[in-house]
């Protein structure tokens, strides 16, 4: 029976064979890799991946699709909302400390998924995701550009990231109304030590009114933290580099 894509799950199924091959080549799966696929759907990427790795763990929320996936003898199916999945438990089950995570992420919740996985970054070898092109632009955005923001800072602190492939709407069924792309995310071996919660709060405040100078937002927040340093708040949030934000969070944390 043909599966009807469900809008509430953000389902757009990849159907372009050339694009699928290019994505799998970019992932470069090896036999025995402890790989987890988020949202396998109709197995467009799942089958070529499992043929290379031998066995694959997949996370699927749609119960009808999960039932189909269980018929595949080389798949271990986790039927769940990915935001509720404990990736530490998944790694333990696979007897590994380094997961490889891939997927065509539902565009309506892609950012929450990225932040959820950030909690498990120490257990990640690499991540390859298909996402809305606009989201990837924000992920890899450079300072002093419109794309640069909270997502850029928090992810670039922990990952080296690269857009590896552009994917047009006609590669999907049904075609989404946006362009897509594939991003490679490799955790940094020695990220700057900083309290993640504090950095998140700091960046959230900084970009809360990105058109205003930071003295109106971050400056006031720094006052509540009794910060006595000389951070320049006569700039806008997008003019501050990732390293500067991280260093400021470390200073604030050390003074607390």
DSSP string over 34-59? -EEEE--TTTTTHHHHHHHHS-EEEE
14 is in an annotated binding site: yes
The three-class DSSP label of residue 205 is helix
**Chain-centroid distance, C-alpha 216:** 30
pLDDT band at residue 108 using 50, 70 and 90 as cut-offs: confident
39 is in an annotated binding site: yes
Delimiting residues of CATH 3.40.50.150 domain(s) in the chain? 7-187
Topology annotation, domain 196-255: Helicase, Ruva Protein; domain 3 (1.10.8)
Tokens 């923001």 identify what position?
149
Residue 18 makes CB contacts below 8 A (sequence gap 6+) with none
> Any idea how long the chain is?
256
69 is in an annotated binding site: no
pLDDT band at residue 75 using 50, 70 and 90 as cut-offs: very high
pLDDT at 17 over 60: yes
Residue 255: predicted pLDDT:
82
Report d(CA 105, CA 114) in Å as an integer. Answer: 9
Report d(CA 175, CA 53) in Å as an integer. Answer: 29
60 is in an annotated binding site: yes
Residue 13: predicted pLDDT:
81
Query: If you average pLDDT over residues 95-119, what whole number do you get?
Result: 94
Report d(CA 92, CA 46) in Å as an integer. Answer: 22
Residue 2: predicted pLDDT:
46
Report d(CA 207, CA 203) in Å as an integer. Answer: 6
12 is in an annotated binding site: yes
Delimiting residues of CATH 1.10.8.100 domain(s) in the chain? 196-255
119 is in an annotated binding site: no
Superfamily name with CATH number, domain 7-187: Vaccinia Virus protein VP39 (3.40.50.150)
Beta strands in the chain (DSSP E): 13-14, 35-38, 56-60, 75-79, 99-104, 124-132, 159-167, 172-173, 180-187
Report d(CA 55, CA 73) in Å as an integer. Answer: 9
């Amino acid at each position: 029976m043909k599966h009807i894509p469900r809008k509430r799950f953000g389902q757009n199924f990849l159907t372009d064979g050339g694009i699928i091959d290019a994505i799998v080549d970019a992932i470069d799966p090896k036999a025995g890799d402890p790989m987890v696929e988020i949202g396998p759907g109709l197995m467009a990427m799942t089958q070529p991946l499992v043929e290379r790795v031998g066995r694959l763990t997949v996370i699927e929320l749609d119960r009808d699709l999960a039932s189909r996936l269980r018929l595949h003898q080389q798949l271990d199916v986790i039927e769940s909302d990915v935001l509720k999945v404990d990736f530490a438990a998944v790694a333990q089950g696979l007897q590994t400390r380094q997961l490889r995570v891939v997927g065509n992420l539902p565009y309506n919740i892609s950012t929450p998924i990225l932040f959820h996985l950030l909690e498990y970054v120490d257990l990640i070898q690499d991540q390859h995701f298909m996402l809305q092109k606009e989201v990837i632009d924000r992920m890899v955005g450079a300072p002093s550009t419109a794309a640069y923001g909270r997502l850029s800072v928090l992810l670039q602190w922990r990952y080296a990231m690269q857009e590896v492939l552009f994917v047009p709407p006609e590669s999907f069924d049904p075609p989404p109304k946006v362009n897509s792309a594939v991003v490679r995310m490799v955790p940094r071996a020695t990220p700057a030590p900083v309290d993640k919660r504090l950095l998140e709060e700091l960046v959230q405040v900084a970009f809360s009114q990105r058109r205003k100078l930071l003295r109106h937002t971050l400056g006031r927040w720094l006052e509540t933290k009794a910060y006595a340093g000389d951070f320049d708040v006569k700039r806008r949030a997008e003019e501050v580099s990732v390293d500067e934000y991280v260093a400021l969070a470390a200073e604030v944390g050390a003074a607390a």
